[in-house]
Structure 1
């Protein structure tokens, strides 16, 4: 029987049931340990009989278990409503940052399913393939060579001599055929087969089985990252772009386990630091105008071949002058407006290298805190021209939804 539960960043789960009836079996725990080991231990911290999650959010499916990992930026006691709030906030953030296209999933499908991130990827992929099948799968030319009774194409003379010296009634030829057996359809079919083996939804399973009948005589083989690099999207195949993108996520994050049987694994995880940076950049980018230029990760040489690049660089044009500001996003909790020395040293270097007088260390927080610029005492003759502010922004609005109106508030904290 399938089961699922939600956790927050930095929560712990063990083989013992907790207050929310969450637990791992020994096989599931071993699979998580193995997965973490092969990924430089960046996703969890192993603990006694369990794991502690890190700053990666998303979803993990191991056999019959689905774990959804959610962001959270306070230490208040957890309850079911907290998980629902941050579940919605994460989906909205992924959608806003173009990591997932929820608009392509029908409202009916969203309501009937328990709607984890994995469910949405599955539904999105199957819906896209149904659209493509309805329009007709793409055909492409491909080369074929073989020993034929009838002449077709051009003769491969070296192989004709090798194979047909006695059987002169045959001709070894090479020719072109126009059919469905091409890399794009092969990738789509491979992803469908993965979904068929791991989905628990009977309706989705029936839709996948129905779709498989529309892939006639297409070779099925293991797809790797190299195959995606070979894809060439042209005018005829542009409608496949979204399906290929989702197929890539599914295929490259799937880890079949041939030794444990049903404990196959599929992971879709996002670094919350990078997602937070992407979200803030997009929020600010939509406020760009002729006098305000927002750019991200502009590079400058630092030492030898090393480069430095702040998260966000703002250029504010005032008359003939250009004032520059730096924002560096940090998805972590700090107390009493005291950033780490490493973070402050980083901002000090950014100010000097990018000719910025003011910079902002931007943290998420659900509690308002006082903010003031502090000065670096070296580097410029006037300390007021080398300042940094530790700043906090609410991720959620008063209704507990992701706040899309924080851009002007962030700019007001920096540009005076």
Structure 2
């Protein structure tokens, strides 16, 4: 049984229960997840005495228990041996699409290999704030009211009478002050305190404690989406943007347990279908983008009701849009395992073929190895001479992310140039 402070690693679509199984959880953890599910989260579904994860991957922390959900596109039954491989794949994909921006001076030495996604976010945030403290926290002007022994700013007459009938040596004034007490630091300090509360990584504890000693204590403020909407970064505060973006993610994804106070939930989850689409798109842009135009989520009008706006179609990736060499790709994060694509996916590709006047269309899936299978749509009538085709491209998962990107782009480029699969 999983104890309250342990780390659980599962794969997408896996089920964990409190009554049986190697990854057996406590009933209390199940009830906490059940309560969290009631808030409308899409990351898992409830099943008999347990939960089944969906196509979302990442980390859910409940109290001190960390549940790490990894992607898995192969059929290898040796799950334990695959954990580090798929952890590296997930982190690598997130880095490629820009979720982990580790190229700035302040965060160029992150220990990527040994951490979970949650630890990476914590470490990235700590590195950013350490950089800000080292370079000097930015001061801003703010209005301040209170008693001073000298008249400064404007005298608040009503409050002066109220507070200083006895202490006539004081002046209750409103004045501008120039210091570090402003909203940016309120947000960062609140996030440091949150990380201190929920961190389970021993190697980060001393850094968190040291940062709290070096960062000035700030008042506790209520943080909502609107708090971040009203932030404006200028030349001096631009260096805060990375830290504030991570703070926003952590603070808004944190759900405190107001009933018991022990099962607070923090979820950092990613839809693998969206992640896979963005990863393939970025890989194509990086490797073959110079000789081809590559666009993502290109919209085309499809149907219009008598009253109202057009419905549209929007394939994942279009290469060489509006040309004779147009190619349309739709990405799907699932392993077909030798089965055929779904009829709905094939119908969708037929529509893309027609409406984009594409030379080729293909469904792109992860696979155990690189391969492509061609197929043709049936002719509408005997007079039709053009046979529309749709390929299924399997993308083998690589160990080195950079090499894997190159392999994906080159394989798809070779498929595009191959006239035998038209």
TM-score, normalised by the number of residues in structure 1: 0.87
1:11-410 mapped onto 2 (5 Å cutoff): 11-16=14-19, 18-19=21-22, 22-40=23-41, 42-101=42-101, 104=107, 106=109, 109=111, 115-146=115-146, 150-154=150-154, 160=157, 164=161, 173-216=173-216, 218-289=218-289, 291-302=291-302, 303=304, 304-315=309-320, 322-336=324-338, 338-367=340-369, 371-375=373-377, 377-378=379-380, 384=386, 386-396=388-398, 403-404=404-405, 405-410=407-412
Q: Is the 8 A contact 2:376 2:387 kept in 1?
A: no
Q: Is the 8 A contact 1:365 1:394 kept in 2?
A: yes
Instruction: Report the Cα offset of residue 372 of structure 1.
Output: 0.9
Which whole-Å CA distance do the structure 2 matches of 1:68 and 1:292 have between them?
38
Q: Is the 8 A contact 1:253 1:266 kept in 2?
A: yes
* Bigger mean CA deviation after superposition, 329-338 or 276-285: 329-338
Q: 1:65 to 1:45 in 2, by over 3 A?
A: same
Q: Is the 8 A contact 1:128 1:242 kept in 2?
A: yes
- Residue 13 of structure 2 is aligned to residue 10 of structure 1: yes
Which whole-Å CA distance do the structure 1 matches of 2:372 and 2:316 have between them?
23
| Cα deviation code 1:166-214 (max 9, x no counterpart) | 9696766543221111111111111101111011234422322222233
| Cα deviation code 1:192-247 (max 9, x no counterpart) | 01111011234422322222233335222221221111111211112112111221
Q: Is the 8 A contact 2:301 2:310 kept in 1?
A: yes
Instruction: Report the Cα offset of residue 353 of structure 1.
Output: 2.7
TM-score, normalised by the number of residues in structure 2: 0.86
User: What runs of 5+ residues in structure 1 fail to find an aligned partner?
Assistant: none
Q: Is the 8 A contact 2:11 2:70 kept in 1?
A: yes
* Bigger mean CA deviation after superposition, 165-174 or 183-192: 165-174
Which whole-Å CA distance do the structure 2 matches of 1:383 and 1:415 have between them?
22
Which whole-Å CA distance do the structure 1 matches of 2:94 and 2:274 have between them?
11
Which whole-Å CA distance do the structure 1 matches of 2:24 and 2:401 have between them?
28
Q: Is the 8 A contact 1:375 1:384 kept in 2?
A: no
Q: Is the 8 A contact 1:363 1:391 kept in 2?
A: yes
Instruction: Report the Cα offset of residue 133 of structure 1.
Output: 0.6
Instruction: Report the Cα offset of residue 94 of structure 1.
Output: 1.1
Instruction: Report the Cα offset of residue 154 of structure 1.
Output: 4.0
Which whole-Å CA distance do the structure 2 matches of 1:57 and 1:166 have between them?
57
Q: 1:8 to 1:400 in 2, by over 3 A?
A: farther
Q: Is the 8 A contact 1:105 1:124 kept in 2?
A: no
Q: Is the 8 A contact 2:125 2:247 kept in 1?
A: yes
Which whole-Å CA distance do the structure 1 matches of 2:284 and 2:130 have between them?
37
Which whole-Å CA distance do the structure 2 matches of 1:275 and 1:400 have between them?
14
Q: Is the 8 A contact 2:189 2:217 kept in 1?
A: no
Instruction: Report the Cα offset of residue 277 of structure 1.
Output: 0.3
Where 2:334 maps in the other structure, the secondary structure is coil
Where 1:213 maps in the other structure, the secondary structure is helix
Which whole-Å CA distance do the structure 2 matches of 1:53 and 1:62 have between them?
15
Which whole-Å CA distance do the structure 1 matches of 2:148 and 2:13 have between them?
64
Which whole-Å CA distance do the structure 2 matches of 1:56 and 1:362 have between them?
19
Instruction: Report the Cα offset of residue 383 of structure 1.
Output: 5.8
What RMSD in Å do the two structures reach over aligned CA positions? 3.0
Instruction: Report the Cα offset of residue 155 of structure 1.
Output: 5.4
- How many equivalent pairs are there? 403
Q: Is the 8 A contact 1:102 1:120 kept in 2?
A: no
| Cα deviation code 1:301-346 (max 9, x no counterpart) | 33424332211110079xxx64211111011132445211221222
